[in-house]
Amino acid sequence: MAYKLLILLLFLIPSFAVSQTNTEKDTTYVHTFQDKITTRVGFINSTYAFNLSDKQSNASLKIKPNQETSVAFSILFRSIELDFGFTPKFFPGNDDDEEKGDTEKLTFNFRMFLGQWMQTIDFNRAKGFYIQDNSNKNVVALLPDFKVNTIGGTTSYIFNKNFSFRAIGFQNEWQKRSAGSFIPSLSYYYHTFRSKEYGMHNNYSLDIAVGPGYYYNSILDKNFIISAGSNLGIGINKTKNSYETITSTLYQSIIRTTLGYNSETFFTGYNGNVSIYKYDQKSDINFNDSIYFFEFYLGYRFKAPKKWIDKVDAFNKKAGL
């Protein structure tokens, strides 16, 4: 795949904290690196796939972008995180354009914490896919002009104020004592599909799902964490293609795992996330999709300049945050 500065991300992540007593975290459970600048490099392998199965012929195909390993650099201070990423050509598996085609990707993400609420907003764009036969994993055809745009988000509530999601997602907090939390979520995503070659102009898929979730951070000692959790959801999907519009029941399953090491300055770890979406469609052709995300990261924290701290503190005080 061509060397492109396309993957990842300009993250703008306001991590607002409500100052009311009933939402404050117990410092014996969570340590916040409030006056530290966090720098981070991640090696990411992520992809998503659309699975098509024909009930009459039993054929099973997968439409997916060319999966590659990218590098993402980030810097985080208080409420703002900036990320930049690219895809090195010399990484294993990043030089198979002739077989699987060239995929261009662009992703933006926004995450906000407001008390115990967590809000995410995602935008993903990909152009250039290939078709794989699920029976033998062979590439059947290339779809160089096939485009998929996705926009949506998730609204979640973290019931246990002493459980730190930031400790496993952003590393600007650390879980000091083991804790878990019930985290129900509402998710909503809208996908559009375009291809001039195949006459796809107004095809789309809308997903809305709600369901329970539970995550647990287990502290092995003061420096090591293992975290695992899952969200299950049920909802509705509406899909429009060139021939029909289908409304069906949506079943959602998300599994997340984390293994991490942390000190006051240095941290490292692994994140894995698998999302499966299945649709109970009354059609000869069934459509399901899945998302896979795996990351190994390294990071370092150093004290922020006093001017930065004073300015942010003054702004938060004036804004009542």
Give the Cβ contact number of residue 263 at 10 Å.
Answer: 12
Q: What pLDDT score was predicted for residue 223?
A: 92
Q: What pLDDT score was predicted for residue 221?
A: 86
Q: What pLDDT score was predicted for residue 101?
A: 82
Judge whether 204 and 219 are in contact, CB under 8 Å: no
Rounded CA Rg of the chain: 21
Q: Which residue matches tokens 């909503």? A: 188
User: Checking DSSP bridges between strand 185-195 and strand 200-211, what pairing results, if any?
Assistant: antiparallel
Q: What CA–CA distance (Å, rounded) separates 151 from 125?
A: 9
Beta strands (DSSP E) in the chain are 30-32, 36-54, 60-65, 69-77, 80-86, 104-114, 117-133, 139-157, 173-175, 179-182, 185-195, 200-211, 213-221, 224-240, 245-262, 266-280, 285-303
165: left (phi over 0), alpha (psi -120 to 50) or beta: alpha
Q: What pLDDT score was predicted for residue 214?
A: 97
From the centroid of its chain, how far is CA 56?
35
From first to last of its 321 residues, the chain has per-residue pLDDT tens of 433 333 333 333 333 333 333 456 678 899 988 888 889 999 988 887 888 776 666 677 888 888 778 888 888 877 666 777 777 777 766 667 777 888 887 777 777 778 789 888 888 888 889 988 877 888 888 889 999 999 999 999 999 999 999 888 878 889 999 999 999 999 999 999 888 887 778 888 899 999 999 999 999 988 999 999 999 999 999 988 777 888 889 999 999 999 999 999 999 999 999 999 888 866 555 667 788 889 999 999 988 888 878 877 777 677 655
Q: What pLDDT score was predicted for residue 309?
A: 80
Q: Which residue, 302, 277, 303, 32, is CA-closest to 170?
A: 32
pTM surpassing 0.85?
no
Q: What angle do CA 215, 220, 224 make, to 5 degrees?
A: 85
Q: What pLDDT score was predicted for residue 4?
A: 36
Helix (H) or strand (E) segment spanning residue 319? helix 306-319
Q: What CA–CA distance (Å, rounded) separates 293 from 172?
A: 21
Q: What pLDDT score was predicted for residue 231?
A: 95
CATH of domain 21-319: 2.40.128.100
SS3 assignment for 164-204: CCHHHHCCCEEECCCEEEECCEEEEEEEEEEECCCCEEEEE
